[in-house]
Structure 1
Amino acid sequence: MKNTDPAFDGLTPWPPALIEHYRRNGIWGEANLTQWLETKLLCRQQDTVLSGPGFAATPWQVLSGGELLQQIKRLAFGLADIGLSRGDRVVLQMGNSNAFIVTLFALLELGVIPVMALPGHRRREIEHFVRLTNARAWLASEGEAGMDFQALGNQLRHAIPELEHIIIDTTDAGPHLTLASLLKDNISNEKLPGHFVDPAGIALLLCSGGTTGLPKLIPRTHRDYLYNAAASAGVCELGPSDCYLVALPAAHNFPLACPGLLGALNSGASIVMCPSPSPETAFEYIARAGVTVTALVPPLVRVWLEYASKMGPPPNSLRLLQVGGARLDMGTARRIRPELGCALQQVFGMAEGLLNYTRSSDPDLLIQGTQGHPLSPLDEIRIVNADGEDVPRGKQGELWTRGPYTLRGYYKADEVNRRSFTEDGYYRSGDLVRQLSSGHLVVEGRLREVIRRGAETVSVEALEALLAQLDAIRDVAVIGLPCEQLGEQVCAVLVLDEATPKPTLSEVRAFLTEEGIARFMLPDRLEFVDQLPLTAVGKIARQQLITHIQQSRQQTNTQGILIS
């Protein structure tokens, strides 16, 4: 019989035998996120749990467990008053503030499923999420540079009349609702619907860092995500004396649950919401709250190292820096302890599930030179060649994986799922890796074309398709070029019709902005060639093109580089 619970709509379940296996081995529990959170906060009613900017980016706010739980319930009752209820989907697009955590858990209190949009997403992605999930509300916060949320709200309301509520965490939302206006003063002690949802159902929908087209959505269940956070906290040795700084955008899987803010709550650690990962801001927050653990992507590590060389290292409370999102080069890895004064933990994972960590007991060579080994003893991985055959240990191949916190299918994406999963449930990650005899993985690259720009993943295919719509463009290729600030910058290489004036970088960016794409996907530079080099099978020879551009631009930069 088909499950009619809306929390299972769009979820590809694990096979019954595996469900029983994970439960029997204590991997999966029977609590949902709402029940779990209430238990954690009731044990810490007087203890500081959360610090950071409050609603509408108000100044520093410190909340005890009891105060945080009260704010969550106040907002939950307010959201219920406007009609949000169990099984609804809501697109959540908020920056790093205490209001993010209050809102996330207020939605879960109602049994509402948050769709975790990123601060950099724009109209194109938000419309996609709303239409795909039939979301009843879009909930956003001001503060993202260059983003007019009121205007975007107007555009969404015009494009999707079915979108009932537009709520913005600001002091003046124009024709829309402000988030703080929904905080109710008088609330009851009744249990809201989120306490009764099935832990096997969807808790939230994460955004993929996918390689093609619009982002896919990743259904994470209460059971698998709680395990994800708790097991990660164990590997990071988090405890009640720790303080976790959320520096990367909180809607990312990494700062959310690896171990992130969920792992901190599970371990009795406190949380600090940092609105920017820049060292100027982050170092101040570390000092203010005695932060002990945080997470960065490699480009930000290099920014922190440069800042530390001039201004001094972060406060000595910081004991552990996690680095993930892209491969960290060994030269940078070796600098972290002597220059930042803290230990390094490399993390290689994906919002789809599988996480790999280096451990504190690993030799320095493995911590600095590998991306860790799987989190769970029940994680299954295969490293295969182009024919799907396992390669010998130490040889490069594509990583396939399945396990107790790795999805079995993207949300409402049947065609993508047929390509992305094997018949026996392995997820084809697209990551090229080697596995050492120790079990540690070394990431070698991607099977499919993406650019790792800072903390974000830029789909080459999606950007090329949009650029091809520009008048007079005969051919286009998007490539990633090395960049000290971002890891890679986005370079659009254009082939124009004869006698066509060359568009400027600003013109191209303006066109793409009008198309509503995420800001982080905008090209950082333009290049022009007469024709694109091709491989023997007719594909763009991207590495050859990268080499050509680098050589031709060593001394000049006529188009300029615009970092944003």
Structure 2
Amino acid sequence: MITDLKINEEQKKKYYDHGYWTADSIREVWHDQVARHGEREYVCDDTGSRYTYREIDERAGRLAAWLASEGVQVGDVVTVQFPTWAEFCIAYVAVMKLGAVMHPVPRNYNDMDLEYAMNLVGSRAFLCPTFSHNVDYEAQIASVRESIPTLGPIAVLDKQAPSHTEFPTFDDIYGRFEPMSAFAPVSADSVACILPTSGTTGKPKQAMLTHNNILFSERVFTRELGRTEDDVMFMPSPLNHATGFFHGLISPMLLGGRAVLQQDFHAREAIELMNEEGVTWSMSATPFIFDMLNVLEASDDGLAFKTLNLFCCGGAPLPPALIERAHRHGILLCEIYGSTESCPHVYVPPEKCLEWNGAWSGVPFEGIEVRVIDAEGNELPAGEQGEELSRGPHMFVGYLNERDRTDRALDDDGWFYSGDLCYQDDEGRIRINGRKKEVIIRGGENISAREIDDDLIGCPGLATSATIGMPDERLGERICTFVVATDPDNPPTQADLIDYLTSRHVAKRLWPERVEVIDEIPVTATGKVKRFILSQVLKERMAAE
């Protein structure tokens, strides 16, 4: 049982008094939705799987009964490694029925990644496919199981290949066990899920979220975006992230709606799948909608979005040009801001998407507070830039087994220090300007790496860019921009970038002082640039010189 949770008691009382938190766990909410919507379809994917609420419930009940028979109890951690498949829902519902803790990990975790992560969280059980994407998941977990002392039962889903080990398959379990019917008590304030953080600055942390955190977050998310049970969510993002799991699956469940999953994102196939399934909304990183708009505008066969009307974007501020392009295709592009720890907490109301046009990252959801502070922790007046802090019923309750890192990020009053720079106006709107770690300190002057990348949007020959600080003996840091060329044989030079910035009257202090060509900018699944990787690449290239 996980006990080292950081919850401010005064805030906790307020959240219950306001009705933001309740006594119901995700399990109780799920059972209510099955009773109401049992025959409705809950989830499908592009591999052919389709399940109603009742079908997921029945299979999950059998899987939960097997896990219980193997000794998995309330509060135990169950690690799940799946592609973006509908069967992930069977796994997560089974874990919730038990009162255990979901720990979804990326499908591309290898044996060493699994060993590290599962030992960190003390995994008690493991669920995965037999085979997918040229990966033998059975062999992978078998190779490290002896190195994970807490690990007990392992089950595999033989969706794309038969099992070849001693591990029981989901189908075996369905045939041998009746659905669980007696449920141990579970507190809504206990941990429901542990999510690895994006890892933009190094080794991922394991963020803990309670049933109440998740339920509040997704209820306010769907309500403020005006979603109903008639809406159909499209989700191409990995299910080990808050975007994929919470927004993609929990949100539709709370509505009694549907979710449509895509195993591997391909823009044209995504548009066709959304049209076939009547998708009305989606939530993902900006590159997903960018790619789909490019495909639409390059097609000559009348390809169009037939039912999609709202696309929520996280991971980076939205350029006005992208908002305008999406609107020409009948889509409101809505910026959402948050993190694994504080997910989500700021949004642009759909009715304001066009009016604000990328000028603001949004306003806090109901029940959530935002502050902007300086380096000394003093609250800043409207218009002045500082670090963004947030507090609310959605807030994570710490990093598992890393109290020092928890205390650095989450203070005793419940405020989360995001590490993001922003300013706020008198109406409560905030504008995210980048990460504190994305600030280049050149000769004592703070320069926003994101600002430079934004200024370079539209530069001829430039597909995308990412700017970092380059070590410099005299100035501390100089500006280095990594570029991906539209034509790999003719990448833009430093002179090309400077000519473009000059034409846009960008100040000289923001000009790149070194340009590095790279095949692809490394990003997380939520679209955040992994600048620590670029720093390592730059270090190696400078050493080679």
Per the normalisation by structure 2, the TM-score is 0.79
The alpha-carbon distance between structure 1 residues 142 and 387, as it changes in their structure 2 partners (threshold 3 A), is farther
| Aligned position for 1:561 | 519
Alpha carbons 2:467, 2:480 under 8 Å: kept: no
Does residue 1:25 correspond to 2:14, yes or no? no
Does residue 1:294 correspond to 2:282, yes or no? yes
Alpha carbons 2:373, 2:388 under 8 Å: kept: yes
Which of 386, 390, 394 aligns to 1:397? It is 386
| Aligned position for 1:52 | 45
Deviation at 1:545, TM superposition (A): 6.1
Deviation at 1:489, TM superposition (A): 7.3
The alpha-carbon distance between structure 1 residues 563 and 151, as it changes in their structure 2 partners (threshold 3 A), is farther
| 1:420-431 mapped onto 2 (5 Å cutoff) | 420-431=409-420
Alpha carbons 2:61, 2:180 under 8 Å: kept: no
Alpha carbons 2:388, 2:419 under 8 Å: kept: yes
The AA in structure 1 aligned to 2:7 is: P
SS across alignment from 1:23: helix
Which of 70, 74, 82 aligns to 1:86? It is 74
User: In the aligned structure 2, how far is the partner of 1:150 from the partner of 1:492?
Assistant: 40
The alpha-carbon distance between structure 1 residues 316 and 369, as it changes in their structure 2 partners (threshold 3 A), is farther
Identity of matched residues, %: 22
Does residue 1:209 correspond to 2:198, yes or no? yes
| 1:76-475 mapped onto 2 (5 Å cutoff) | 76-141=64-129, 145=133, 147-170=135-158, 171-175=161-165, 177=167, 178-184=169-175, 186-187=177-178, 190-193=181-184, 196-258=185-247, 260-311=248-299, 312-339=302-329, 341-353=330-342, 354-362=344-352, 364-376=354-366, 378-448=367-437
User: In the aligned structure 2, how far is the partner of 1:281 from the partner of 1:314?
Assistant: 12
The AA in structure 2 aligned to 1:36 is: V
User: In the aligned structure 2, how far is the partner of 1:350 from the partner of 1:185?
Assistant: 41
SS across alignment from 2:43: strand
User: In the aligned structure 2, how far is the partner of 1:369 from the partner of 1:38?
Assistant: 42
Alpha carbons 2:311, 2:332 under 8 Å: kept: yes
Q: Deviations over 1:437-459 (max 9, x none)?
A: 33222111001259xxxxxxxxx
User: Which stretch of structure 1 is more off in the superposition, 215-224 or 441-450?
Assistant: 441-450
User: In the aligned structure 2, how far is the partner of 1:328 from the partner of 1:363?
Assistant: 10
Alpha carbons 2:465, 2:482 under 8 Å: kept: no
The alpha-carbon distance between structure 1 residues 492 and 237, as it changes in their structure 2 partners (threshold 3 A), is closer
Alpha carbons 2:42, 2:51 under 8 Å: kept: yes
| Aligned position for 1:543 | 479
Deviation at 1:283, TM superposition (A): 1.6
The gaps in structure 1 that reach 5 residues or longer are: 1-5, 54-58, 451-478, 494-531
Q: Deviations over 1:34-93 (max 9, x none)?
A: 11101011111222222225xxxxx42332222221122122123223332222112112
Q: Deviations over 1:274-320 (max 9, x none)?
A: 21232233222212211111112112222111111123554311111
The alpha-carbon distance between structure 1 residues 46 and 533, as it changes in their structure 2 partners (threshold 3 A), is closer
The alpha-carbon distance between structure 1 residues 282 and 229, as it changes in their structure 2 partners (threshold 3 A), is same
Alpha carbons 1:211, 1:448 under 8 Å: kept: no
| Aligned position for 1:11 | 5
User: In the aligned structure 1, how far is the partner of 2:463 from the partner of 2:219?
Assistant: 30
| Aligned position for 1:534 | 472
SS across alignment from 2:233: strand
Deviation at 1:142, TM superposition (A): 6.0
Deviation at 1:108, TM superposition (A): 1.2
| Aligned position for 1:461 | none
Deviation at 1:322, TM superposition (A): 0.8
Deviation at 1:14, TM superposition (A): 2.7
The AA in structure 1 aligned to 2:195 is: L
User: In the aligned structure 1, how far is the partner of 2:31 from the partner of 2:278?
Assistant: 25
The AA in structure 1 aligned to 2:325 is: R
| Aligned position for 1:501 | none
Alpha carbons 2:8, 2:412 under 8 Å: kept: no
Indicate the RMSD between aligned Cα atoms, in angstroms: 3.4
Deviation at 1:543, TM superposition (A): 2.7
The alpha-carbon distance between structure 1 residues 449 and 142, as it changes in their structure 2 partners (threshold 3 A), is farther
The AA in structure 2 aligned to 1:102 is: I
Q: Deviations over 1:483-540 (max 9, x none)?
A: 99x99678999xxxxxxxxxxxxxxxxxxxxxxxxxxxxxxxxxxxxxx6326685xx
Deviation at 1:28, TM superposition (A): 0.6
The AA in structure 2 aligned to 1:270 is: R
The alpha-carbon distance between structure 1 residues 550 and 413, as it changes in their structure 2 partners (threshold 3 A), is farther
SS across alignment from 2:187: coil
Count of aligned pairs between the two proteins: 479
User: In the aligned structure 2, how far is the partner of 1:410 from the partner of 1:442?
Assistant: 27
SS across alignment from 2:214: helix
Which of 42, 50, 56 aligns to 1:62? It is 50
The AA in structure 1 aligned to 2:165 is: P
| Aligned position for 1:40 | 33
User: Which stretch of structure 1 is more off in the superposition, 156-165 or 401-410?
Assistant: 156-165
Alpha carbons 1:125, 1:214 under 8 Å: kept: no
Alpha carbons 2:334, 2:350 under 8 Å: kept: yes
The alpha-carbon distance between structure 1 residues 124 and 415, as it changes in their structure 2 partners (threshold 3 A), is farther
Alpha carbons 1:168, 1:176 under 8 Å: kept: no
The gaps in structure 2 that reach 5 residues or longer are: 440-452, 484-490, 498-514, 523-545
SS across alignment from 2:471: coil
